[in-house]
């Protein structure tokens, strides 16, 4: 499953965050299945100390490992993302046989 990882940190801790990021990168090389697979690398939002990364997650423990590695430096939130076709196909399948079907979040 794919997720967007939104993250932010205190700008005063930028160098510390870079160091943690380097260590996680080294650990990822030694243990590639420990963390989610990067699909779209880290991008900053403007020059603010926040941004996002897109990951492919095979095992929920990978998210836990990433959270623990960056805690408490980065505040983060994982949001699942879905391909449009998958959502449309599911909606249409659920709607079959139920004319009153409506998406109810």
- The CATH number of the domain holding residue 29 is 3.30.70.1060
26-55 per-position pLDDT tens digit: 999 999 999 999 999 999 999 999 999 999
Global confidence as pTM: 0.80
| Total number of domains constituting the chain | 1
Q: Quick check: is 101 in a domain?
A: no
pLDDT on residue 93:
82
Share of the chain above pLDDT 70, in %: 91
Rounded Cα distance, 62 and 34, in Å:
6
Q: Quick check: is 23 in a domain?
A: yes
Rounded Cα distance, 78 and 55, in Å:
9
Q: Quick check: is 47 in a domain?
A: yes
Domain that holds residue 76: 2-95
Helix 14-30 to helix 60-70 angle (10° resolution) is: 140
């Amino acid at each position: 499953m794919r997720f967007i990882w939104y993250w932010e940190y205190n700008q005063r801790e930028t160098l510390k965050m870079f160091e943690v990021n380097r260590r996680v990168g080294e650990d990822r090389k030694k243990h590639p299945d420990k963390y989610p697979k990067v699909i779209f690398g880290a991008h900053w939002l403007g020059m603010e100390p926040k941004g996002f990364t897109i990951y492919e997650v095979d095992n929920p423990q990978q998210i836990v490992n990433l959270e623990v590695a960056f805690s408490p430096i980065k505040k983060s939130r994982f949001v699942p993302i879905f391909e449009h076709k998958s959502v449309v196909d599911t909606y249409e399948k659920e709607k079959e046989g139920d004319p009153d079907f409506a998406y109810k979040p």
